[in-house]
Structure 1
Amino acid sequence: MQKYLSVAEVADKTGLSRNTVKAYSQVPGRLPEPDAMIGRVRGWLPETIEAWISKRAEH
C-alpha cells in the first residue's frame, strides 16, 4: 500500500506552515502536483517532496 503525505505532513517535512503548503499547492509550479487526489484531499509521495526539497536547496 502506497503512503501519501498530507498537507500537514508536507508542512512538517518542509518546515513550511500548513497555510503556506495549501497556498503553494494552488499556484502551478510552486509545489509539485499531488501524486493522488481523493476528493479534494491532496497527497504526495514522500520521494516527490524529498526531490522538491533537494531542488529548492540548490537555488
Structure 2
Amino acid sequence: MGDKPLEFLSVSQFAERIGVAERSLSKYQLPEPDAVIGDKARRQTRGWLPETVDAWNAKRPGRGNWRNAKR
C-alpha cells in the first residue's frame, strides 16, 4: 500500500498549467482524459496526467496559428 496514488489535473489545473483562463478551454479540442470519475447519468469529472497536458500543449498551434492546424 505504500505506493503514492496517481494525481490527475482538474480542468482548472489544466488551464493554469497551460496559462489560459478555464473558460477558454471550451474552445480547444482537449486530449482524451486519462481518468474519468463518475458515470454518464451524473456529472463526470475528467482528469489528465501532467505529462498528457504537457505533450498536448507542446503540439497545439500557437496564437494565430489555429487556421494552420490539421483539419
1:1-59 correspondence runs (5 A): 1-21=5-25, 23-24=26-27, 30-39=29-38, 40-56=44-60
Does 1 or 2 have the higher relative contact order (CA < 8 Å, sep 6+)?
Answer: 1
List alignment gaps of at least 5 residues for structure 2: 39-43, 66-71
Question: Once the 2 structures are TM-superposed, how far is the Cα of residue 18 of structure 1 from its aligned partner?
Answer: 1.0
Task: Name whichever structure is richer in helix by fraction.
Answer: 1
Aligned residues: percent identity?
44
The Cα offsets for residues 5-37 of structure 1, whole Å up to 9 and x where unpaired, read as 00110010011211122x147xxxx11011101
CA distance in 2, matches of 1:3, 1:50: 15
**Runs of 4+ with >4 A deviation:** none
Q: What is the RMSD computed on CA atoms of the aligned residues?
A: 1.9
TM-score (norm 1): 0.77
